[in-house]
């Protein structure tokens, strides 16, 4: 099933993100977690791209294949430009195709001294155009940033570049995580006015542990509204209460997004089936009956 089709069929598409373990020892535990998550009937599950397979862990393709072929869950495999060239990306695409994976999230990847820049693909849109031209059967998704990407001077400039993704064949977008829905609504207004008419999955990460805050914020550059910082300050020394408060915050955020007409909700659940189930319980009455 192509992800684009899901948006034509459902008022709100429910999805999650998981990441492959760096070492194969964690794989059995992750498989058990994914079996639990599959019971929530997500419309698709995205699998992040990392060094996984080549570093002795589990590859994105292996995990995507497990979701598709063992669990019957539609996978969305992330694929990045950084560190890849046309000749190295072809075998990855061949492998994904052979595994029956139909959807790819095309990304540039974060800049890192550990990853060389790609000479073939400067931007996600270049990778999307390459896949469209050479592997036309894949459905393509792309990333977007409600607060603007850090490398763009303004939100308008970043959104103008999203048009390039759309023109390159991307047919669905997933947002970076955000904690204040106003950013999402503003972004959507700018995007629609700029001619970006793709369905957008709103990315929400439930923050249930103190350590997540610093790491998440530095990686995502998401701004923190006072309501969020108050929650963290209040419960930071009480693990159990912070867990509950973090779930409640995410549930409230998602309920507002669905009621506000979001095309889809994408949960960054950090491979945690308990978090996925708790959030799902809080929003299931707003999702289509079959979820």
Tokens encoding 9:
């069929």
How many chain residues touch ligand FAD (CB under 6 A)?
21
Residue whose entry in the numeric block shows the structure tokens 């999650």? 16
Tell me the window of 35-43, 85-93, 107-115, 272-280 that interacts with ligand FAD (CB under 6 A): 107-115
| Nearest distance from C-beta of residue 129 to ligand FAD, angstroms | 10
Q: Are 76 and 47 in contact (CB under 8 A)?
A: yes
**Within 26-55, which residues bind ligand FAD (CB under 6 A)?**
48-49
Q: Where are the beta strands (DSSP E) in 48-150?
A: 75-80, 103-107, 139-144
In degrees rounded to 5, what are phi and psi of residue 164? Answer: -65, -35
Between the alpha carbon of residue 247 and those of residues 25, 39, 232, 235, the distances in Å are: 29, 19, 12, 13
3-state secondary structure of 174: strand
In the complex, the smallest distance separating the C-beta of residue 244 from ligand FAD, rounded to whole angstroms, is: 26
Contact flag: residue 110 with ligand FAD (CB under 6 A): yes
Closest CB to ligand FAD among residues 158, 287: 158
Minimum CB distance to ligand FAD, residue 110 (Å): 5
Give 111 or 289: the residue with its C-beta nearer to ligand FAD: 111
Contacts of residue 110, Cβ cutoff 8 Å, sequence gap at least 6: 82, 219
245 contributes a contact to ligand FAD by CB under 6 A: no
Residue 16 β-bridge partners = 45, 267
C-alpha span between 284 and 268 (Å, rounded): 17
Residues 6+ apart with CB under 8 A from 27: 21, 58
CB of 136 to ligand FAD, least distance (A): 20
> What residues between 125 and 184 interact with ligand FAD by CB under 6 A?
125, 143, 149, 151-152, 158, 161, 164, 174, 176
Residue numbers annotated as active site: 17
Find the shortest distance in angstroms from Cβ 133 to ligand FAD: 16
Q: Among 103-111, 186-194, 237-245, 281-289, which window interacts with ligand FAD (CB under 6 A)?
A: 103-111
Distance CA 182, CA 199 (A): 18
Nearer to ligand FAD, 20 or 231 (CB): 20
Q: How many residues does the chain have?
A: 291
**Binding interface with ligand FAD (CB under 6 A):** 48-49, 78, 80, 107-110, 123-125, 143, 149, 151-152, 158, 161, 164, 174, 176, 203
């Amino acid at each position: 099933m192509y992800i684009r089709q899901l948006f034509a069929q459902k008022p709100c598409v429910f999805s999650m993100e998981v990441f492959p373990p760096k070492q194969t020892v964690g794989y059995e535990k992750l498989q058990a977690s994914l079996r639990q998550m599959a019971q929530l009937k997500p419309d698709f599950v995205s699998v992040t791209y990392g060094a996984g397979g080549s570093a002795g862990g589990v590859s994105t393709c292996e995990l995507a294949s497990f979701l598709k072929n063992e669990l019957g869950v539609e996978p969305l495999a992330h694929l990045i430009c950084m560190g890849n060239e046309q000749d190295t990306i072809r075998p990855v695409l061949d492998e994904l195709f052979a595994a029956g994976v139909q959807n790819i999230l095309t990304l540039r990847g974060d800049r890192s001294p550990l990853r060389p820049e790609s000479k073939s693909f400067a931007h996600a849109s270049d990778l999307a155009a390459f896949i469209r031209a050479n592997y036309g059967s894949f459905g393509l998704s792309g990333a977007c940033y409600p607060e603007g990407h850090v490398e763009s001077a303004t939100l308008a400039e970043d959104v103008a570049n999203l048009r390039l993704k759309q023109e390159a064949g991307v047919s669905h977008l997933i947002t970076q995580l955000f904690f204040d829905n106003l950013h999402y609504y503003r972004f959507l207004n700018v995007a629609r006015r700029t001619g970006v008419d793709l369905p957008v999955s709103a990315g929400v990460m439930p923050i249930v542990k103190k350590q997540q805050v610093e790491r998440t914020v530095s990686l995502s550059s998401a701004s923190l509204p006072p309501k969020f910082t108050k929650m963290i300050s209040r419960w930071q020394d009480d693990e159990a209460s912070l867990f509950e408060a973090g779930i409640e915050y995410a549930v409230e955020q998602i309920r507002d997004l669905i009621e506000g007409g979001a095309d889809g909700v994408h949960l960054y659940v950090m491979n945690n089936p308990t978090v996925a189930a708790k959030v799902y319980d809080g929003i299931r009455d707003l999702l289509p009956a079959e979820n």
